[in-house]
Structure 1
Amino acid sequence: MKAHYRRASADPSNTLRKKCEVFTDIMDEFTSCSLEYLPENILIDVLSYLSIRELVRAGRVCKRWRRLVKDQRLWRLVDLTAWKGTTSRILWALLRQYLGCGLRCLRLRGLLLSVRGGTFLSEAWLKALSTRCPRLGRLYLLHADLRSLPSCQLLPPSLKVLELRGCELPHGFFNQDLPTPSPAYAGATSSAKQKDRPTPSGISIESLILNNVPSFKDHHLQSLTSWQRLSRLELCDTFRVTANGLRSCAAKDGTCGVEGLFRLKSLEISITIRQGYQLQMASFGLGAGWLGLEELSLGGKEVAHGLLCVSRLKDLKRLYLKACTIREMQIVRSCRMLRDLAGLHRLEFLDVVFQLRLCPSEGEGEEEQEGEGTPAGGDNVNSESKPDEPISKLHRTLAVLLPCCTLTYSNCSVRYNEP
């Protein structure tokens, strides 16, 4: 009997059968704890980590997942810029099945650089988007050909922020057909403190961002004067905007009160170094003054010209200088002119290279820093810094010229020039 038991336990087939039974029990327990038993809130949180294409594919798994994928919490921020080959047919499918009242931000890539080309945004699709997505507040268009659209009034009226990057625009894209009465603010002062008045119906965009839009010209900028809610304008690499165009749109006292972009509070002008373009030096248009402008950002090639005109902006409170190279005497001379701006309380340098003169009395240790640069990233440079630091010396000089202004340096460096 004992020998028979030993032979049975030593049988390999019997051992394999037991292992299969144990594995089957484990699989049964794993099946009982599948995703079907998780709450829907947890499943929605898991699905939120998927891209738009993966989310659409997940909706084909089963009926329950299809219902969960259509939850509007998953469609608040929709980014289709990484989806190559997005056509109008795909946009119609997404709008009819998934996009709804939960949509807040929409990012689209057009077919401007595509070999296939074709119409990307149609009037019918934009009207349907306005109806199905009444809470859409931000629209970002990348490489989109908008020449088939007669006006930007076809965009959803709920938009607050419109960002265009590398797009083509028609001649009258920013025109507003609705009549806008001129602002009758007879008692307007230099600080442009107007009383709150109801604004007329029309384009409700408050922030317009244009980045590398070569077709944006002076007449487009002039059309923005009819936008009664525009408070922020960014012109990045808009090479065809001239000083005359910017000067004609500046808020100023006219026959009927304040004219131009009188509601504009923030303006950014930046031109990067690019070959093949003739710089128009649009920042010279600030020399005419701009009533009510509180924040100004200059970048690239526009910094040197803009600093000559900043002292004319009597209402300026914040000044940002980005991605440029400034000589020591240039920034010191500019800060002397900024002393007349009583409201200026913040001056920030971002990615700025300061060109300092190398004095003969300085030691060899500083001579070795020539061409390498001394980083000065972070927050404000206080007076407790080491006295041999060049950024600290420049900071103390500027602090004396602007005692009521906060100076901030972020990712700045120093380059020495021979005397």
Structure 2
Amino acid sequence: MATFAELPDSVLLEVFSYLPVRDRIRISRVCHRWKRLVDDRWLWRHVDLTVYTMRPKVMWHLLRRYMATRLYSLRMGGYLFSGSKAPQLSSALMRALGQKCPNLQRLCLHVADLTTVPIASLPRTLKTLELHSCEISMLWLRKEQDCSVLPLLECIVLDRVPAFQDEHLQGLTRFRALRSLVLGGTYRVTETGLDAGLQELSYLQRLEVLGCTLSADSTLLAVSRHLRDVRKLRLTVRGLSAPGLAVLEGMPALESLCLLGPLVTPEMPSPEEILASCLAMPKLRVLELQGLGWEGQEPEKLLSRGLPHCMVIVRACPKESMDWWM
């Protein structure tokens, strides 16, 4: 059996990549070889800091010493509910990320108070921005804001962002490169607001609407009206009926459809009705159904036989999906 000393650098780097940031730094003290490997830029492409309540001084040290030009994606926590003495994300830190990390493309912020952080301070190189349980300023996503902000942004995830509402949805048109939108638990978005917003976002290719107060039927109606180029669609089934699903028939570009439970109403389409609608979606290649309460393998067999050109996935609702209904 090979010892650690006999393992090639590539294998050790793969092992080190699974370690939390703090442990990566600690093992750099073991020997000169490990110190060299911990300094390898490959190891710092993806960094997750959400497990730490990190002091600003430590964050700045990591930024200067390890991340800098190596960083591709970063996950950070803002400690919104940890008390006034907890470190908060600042405009200075966001600007420093943009200046010192020119290759940063994905930023995921969790439980952060961003009400005093201008959106213009975020790194201009971002292609993906995820906000999970964050507080944002009402000015962040208004349509009249500067259109030069985040010029490369292709995907935005808004997961339980209380301030997000109809006017912000229409304001997303300022991001010219945007092609993917995820709305999770955005309870202030109305059916009228969604319809008006998607009309202006007709170029979207991926849309997810999860755990919102909107009915699935109203969401699908807005999609069929305005998102003719949508390729991937994922939504929870609250308020879904067979006629509501039927509005997707003939959608010219739809390749992937995912319907998630666990709320199933009497109006919920049967497997036979889902099959009939999917047969009228010419480009559909992936059908995923989660947590719909179907017992046994018969629904999956029916759909797989009827849709031989599709990958059909039928499974129980994963634990993380339950969060949308908590």
TM bracket, shorter-chain basis: 0.7 to 0.9
Matches of residues 142-181 of structure 1 in structure 2 within 5 Å? 142-151=110-119, 153-175=120-142, 177-179=145-147
Question: Contact conserved, 1:268 with 1:296, CA < 8 A, in 2?
Answer: yes
Structure 2 CA distance for aligned equivalents of residues 121 and 221 of structure 1? 24
Match of 1:190 in 2: none
Secondary structure in structure 2 of the residue aligned to 1:128? helix
Matches of residues 349-388 of structure 1 in structure 2 within 5 Å? 349-354=289-294, 373-374=295-296, 376=297
Match of 2:190 in 1: 242
Secondary structure in structure 2 of the residue aligned to 1:250? helix
Secondary structure in structure 1 of the residue aligned to 2:269? helix
Match of 2:88 in 1: 120
CA shift for structure 1 position 203: 2.6
Match of 2:254 in 1: 316
Match of 2:234 in 1: 297
Matches of residues 29-178 of structure 1 in structure 2 within 5 Å? 47-59=16-28, 68-83=37-52, 85-117=53-85, 120-151=88-119, 153-175=120-142, 177-178=145-146
Match of 1:395 in 2: 303
Match of 2:245 in 1: 307
CA shift for structure 1 position 347: 3.0
Match of 2:218 in 1: 284
| TM-score, with length taken from structure 2 | 0.79
Match of 2:166 in 1: 218
CA shift for structure 1 position 335: 5.2
CA shift for structure 1 position 40: 6.8
| TM-score, with length taken from structure 1 | 0.63
CA shift for structure 1 position 100: 1.7
Structure 1 CA distance for aligned equivalents of residues 291 and 157 of structure 2? 21
Question: Contact conserved, 1:101 with 1:132, CA < 8 A, in 2?
Answer: yes
Structure 1 CA distance for aligned equivalents of residues 203 and 45 of structure 2? 30
Residue identity opposite 1:140 in structure 2: C
Question: Contact conserved, 2:107 with 2:129, CA < 8 A, in 1?
Answer: yes
Match of 2:204 in 1: 264
Structure 2 CA distance for aligned equivalents of residues 349 and 213 of structure 1? 26
Question: Contact conserved, 1:86 with 1:110, CA < 8 A, in 2?
Answer: no
Question: Contact conserved, 2:259 with 2:288, CA < 8 A, in 1?
Answer: yes
- Where structure 2 has 5 or more consecutive residues not aligned to the other structure, the ranges are 318-326
- Where structure 1 has 5 or more consecutive residues not aligned to the other structure, the ranges are 1-32, 180-199, 252-259, 273-278, 355-372, 377-388, 414-419
Secondary structure in structure 1 of the residue aligned to 2:313? strand
CA shift for structure 1 position 211: 1.9
Q: Deviations over 1:165-186 (max 9, x none)?
A: 111111121247445xxxxxxx
CA shift for structure 1 position 261: 0.9
CA shift for structure 1 position 410: 2.4
Change (3 A) 1:128 1:317: same
Secondary structure in structure 2 of the residue aligned to 1:108? strand
Change (3 A) 1:314 1:333: same
Secondary structure in structure 2 of the residue aligned to 1:101? helix
Secondary structure in structure 2 of the residue aligned to 1:297? strand
Structure 1 CA distance for aligned equivalents of residues 287 and 34 of structure 2? 52
Structure 2 CA distance for aligned equivalents of residues 294 and 114 of structure 1? 40
Residue identity opposite 1:321 in structure 2: L
Secondary structure in structure 1 of the residue aligned to 2:178? coil
Question: Contact conserved, 2:125 with 2:150, CA < 8 A, in 1?
Answer: no
Change (3 A) 1:123 1:340: same
* Aligned residue pair count: 308
Question: Contact conserved, 1:231 with 1:263, CA < 8 A, in 2?
Answer: yes
Secondary structure in structure 2 of the residue aligned to 1:98? helix
CA shift for structure 1 position 108: 0.8
Q: Deviations over 1:303-350 (max 9, x none)?
A: 449536534855434321122436587234565556654444543323
Residue identity opposite 2:50 in structure 1: T
1:410 to 314, 318, 322: 314
Residue identity opposite 1:128 in structure 2: A
Structure 2 CA distance for aligned equivalents of residues 39 and 308 of structure 1? 56
Change (3 A) 1:225 1:282: farther
Question: Contact conserved, 1:345 with 1:404, CA < 8 A, in 2?
Answer: no
Match of 1:6 in 2: none
Q: Deviations over 1:225-267 (max 9, x none)?
A: 121111111112211111111100223xxxxxxxx11321010
Secondary structure in structure 1 of the residue aligned to 2:201? coil
Structure 1 CA distance for aligned equivalents of residues 4 and 215 of structure 2? 64
Change (3 A) 1:201 1:337: same
